[in-house]
Structure 1
Amino acid sequence: MNVVALEVGGAYIKGCVLGSDGILRDRERWFTRPERGPDAVLETVLECAATLARRSRAVAAGIVVPGVVDDTSGSAVLAGALGWRGMPVRGWVAEHLEIPVAFGHDVRAGGLAEARLGAGRASRNFLFVSVGTGIGAAWVLDGRVVPGSRGGAGELGHLVVRPGGEPCHCGGRGCLETIASSPAVGHRYSRLTKWRGVGAGELYHRADAGDTVARAVCTEAVEALAAALATAVTLYAPDLLVIGGELGDAGRGRLAPLRDALARRLTFQAMPEVLPAAFGDRSGCMGAALLARDLQREAAAA
């Protein structure tokens, strides 16, 4: 019995099909195009979910989204990257697919996937940090993800690392996301070089190949991210940092500068191990599939 999963991001909607044997049977990726408006994004999500569900004959679905979510009501309270406020996502998807639907936060779902099956399996206290269109963190303690009050934990990207800096879509200024997110590094590189359409992955390759501007942009982003992570390490004392999203997908070599920058900032704190996510930029999608599988098993046992 298959389950389907969707991770809705500001740039892409990632989908997958998980078989009852735990093997991924299918995967897809669609452009989100949030500039079309919140209702259009929701319509695309429904269409993508229906396509996967029909193709796989799914018995349950999981969907995870960024921002502040209410797991209990199944609503996206605030997903700025998607233009969603108070959107009852789970209800809409369940009505459209006519199967049970699990709902959650994209980064916390990623933390769940890495805890059960990925880089965090051997750790009892780790932070999963996703660096992509947005930047979020999930604290995993004894295999359980801590959601915080009203589902608002882990908004690492909205720590202010440059007071009075660039405006952020959250309403603040100088947030980490304005410096270290994938769109931020791409926009900064474009402003400095006039090159258009250079994504974060390509930027990393250019930096490694000796592009001095790309290297400077990456260094600025890494330093900002290290500053935010130093705060997180001080608060949570994790023994491991699992880095996901596009940065984690770039591999261990790309994480070495981050590891060094973080180590320079820590004094009395223990330096955690830093590893790339086992599922790369698809940890959230895999987590959504696990949530769907849990829901299906609960229904079967009832």
Structure 2
Amino acid sequence: MRHVIALDVGGTGMKAALVGPAGELLHQARHATGRERGPDAVVGTILDFAAELRAHGERLFGTPAAAAGVAVPGIVDAGSGTAVYSANLGWRDVPMRRLLGERLGGVPVALGHDVRTGGLAEGRIGAGQGADRFLFVPLGTGIAGAIGIDGGVEAGAHGFAGEIGHIVVRPGGTACPCGQHGCLERYASAAAVSQAWAETSGSPDADAADCAQAVAAGDARAVRVWQDAVDALADGLVTALTLLDPRTLIIGGGLAEAGETLFTPLRAAVERRVTFQKLPSIVPAALGDTAGCLGAGLLAWDLLETSHTDRSEVTI
């Protein structure tokens, strides 16, 4: 059975899989990232985990993986296959593609940005199937985006395409670590909603899921907090759709787990704001927390199928 190795590296945990030619999950595994042990230890854990997957695939299918794909957070240099920087993992300039290739016996390795690889999977085999242009926006600790065009995902000239979380929606507002004030992710991320609801409710341990439950129960304070976040998100999304004209907006991440508690007011807020723009479909992500891993697998298969002379340069 031909298969590839797929790794989705997160701040606290790694998801991994052996992925078949049609994007099917043949085997899944998870491992702690171990960032408390430092960036070098994290890299070592990734390499060891990949080697374990390679050995498991050989035992299962009698043949080694044909390629590997890995999705990492932070800044990714597509040309060199380097994980340039990750605040969560503490690393800088890690030659991930080369290191993984060497550890896996010389197989080709594709390196991708975690949100863009998740968007690639949602576009091809998830909620964006059939859409020639889509925008994937996961609402987690922060907010990022993946711009899908004709089956691929746009990285941009410098690797920063899709950073919708740093669109300024409230000029002069809350300071953002990026250096601006009033960024979208300071108002509409799961972390922002958690903070706002903890302050409003007087419960330091309250989070966005608690806020969503309180909204569903009719708590007026929660409704105000939630609507503030929805309005900020709608402002950011309308800016994005004005520039990109996507056919579909795919919303994922922790806030999307609230279901229609999020999507009903969000669709209404976006519709109120559009004028000449074409209103896109606004749908929940379909693949959940497997999107990044599946996207990494798709990257690996793309690597094998490309006709480029240097196939190791396929990244997003």
Task: Pick the TM interval, shorter chain.
Answer: 0.7 to 0.9
2:84 to 73, 77, 80: 77
Q: What amino acid does structure 2 have at the position aligned with 1:85?
A: R
TM-score (norm 1): 0.86
CA contact (8 A) 1:80 1:169 kept: no
1:32-57 residue CA offsets vs partner (Å, 9 max, x unmatched):
46565433443443344344333334
Q: How many residues align?
A: 301
Instruction: Give the 3-state SS of the residue equivalent to 1:17 in structure 2.
Output: strand
Instruction: Give the 3-state SS of the residue equivalent to 2:136 in structure 1.
Output: strand
**Per the alignment, do residues 280 and 253 of structure 1 end up closer, same or farther by CA in structure 2, a change over 3 Å counting?**
farther
Q: Which stretch has the larger CA shift, 191-200 or 280-289?
A: 191-200
**Per the alignment, do residues 215 and 169 of structure 1 end up closer, same or farther by CA in structure 2, a change over 3 Å counting?**
same
**Per the alignment, do residues 185 and 102 of structure 1 end up closer, same or farther by CA in structure 2, a change over 3 Å counting?**
same
Instruction: Give the 3-state SS of the residue equivalent to 1:169 in structure 2.
Output: coil
CA contact (8 A) 1:246 1:281 kept: no
Instruction: Give the 3-state SS of the residue equivalent to 1:291 in structure 2.
Output: helix
Instruction: Give the 3-state SS of the residue equivalent to 2:111 in structure 1.
Output: strand
2:314 equivalent in structure 1: none
In 1, the alpha carbon distance for the partners of 2:193 and 2:32 equals 20
Q: What amino acid does structure 2 have at the position aligned with 1:23?
A: E
TM-score (norm 2): 0.82
In 1, the alpha carbon distance for the partners of 2:231 and 2:42 equals 34
Q: What amino acid does structure 2 have at the position aligned with 1:75?
A: T
1:156-213 residue CA offsets vs partner (Å, 9 max, x unmatched):
1111223333333323333222222222222333333353555544543343234444
The percent identity for this pair of structures is 48
1:93 deviation in Å? 2.7
**Are 1:97 and 2:96 counterparts?**
no
CA contact (8 A) 1:11 1:133 kept: no
CA contact (8 A) 2:23 2:294 kept: no
**Are 1:144 and 2:152 counterparts?**
yes
1:255 equivalent in structure 2: 263
1:183 equivalent in structure 2: 191
Q: Which runs of 5+ in 1 are unaligned?
A: none
1:66 to 57, 73, 76: 73
Instruction: Give the 3-state SS of the residue equivalent to 1:62 in structure 2.
Output: strand
1:270 equivalent in structure 2: 278
Q: Which stretch has the larger CA shift, 222-231 or 87-96?
A: 87-96
**Per the alignment, do residues 209 and 29 of structure 1 end up closer, same or farther by CA in structure 2, a change over 3 Å counting?**
farther
**Are 1:161 and 2:162 counterparts?**
no
Q: What amino acid does structure 2 have at the position aligned with 1:224?
A: A
**Per the alignment, do residues 97 and 130 of structure 1 end up closer, same or farther by CA in structure 2, a change over 3 Å counting?**
same
CA contact (8 A) 2:8 2:296 kept: yes
Q: Which stretch has the larger CA shift, 262-271 or 57-66?
A: 57-66
1:19 equivalent in structure 2: 20
1:134 equivalent in structure 2: 142
In 1, the alpha carbon distance for the partners of 2:13 and 2:190 equals 13
1:285 equivalent in structure 2: 293
In 1, the alpha carbon distance for the partners of 2:32 and 2:171 equals 33
In 1, the alpha carbon distance for the partners of 2:41 and 2:219 equals 38
1:172 equivalent in structure 2: 180
Q: Which stretch has the larger CA shift, 130-139 or 90-99?
A: 90-99
1:4-48 residue CA offsets vs partner (Å, 9 max, x unmatched):
222223354332321345321233444546565433443443344
CA contact (8 A) 1:16 1:25 kept: yes
1:118 deviation in Å? 1.8
1:119 equivalent in structure 2: 127
Tell which structure's C-alpha radius of gyration is larger: 2
Instruction: Give the 3-state SS of the residue equivalent to 2:144 in structure 1.
Output: strand
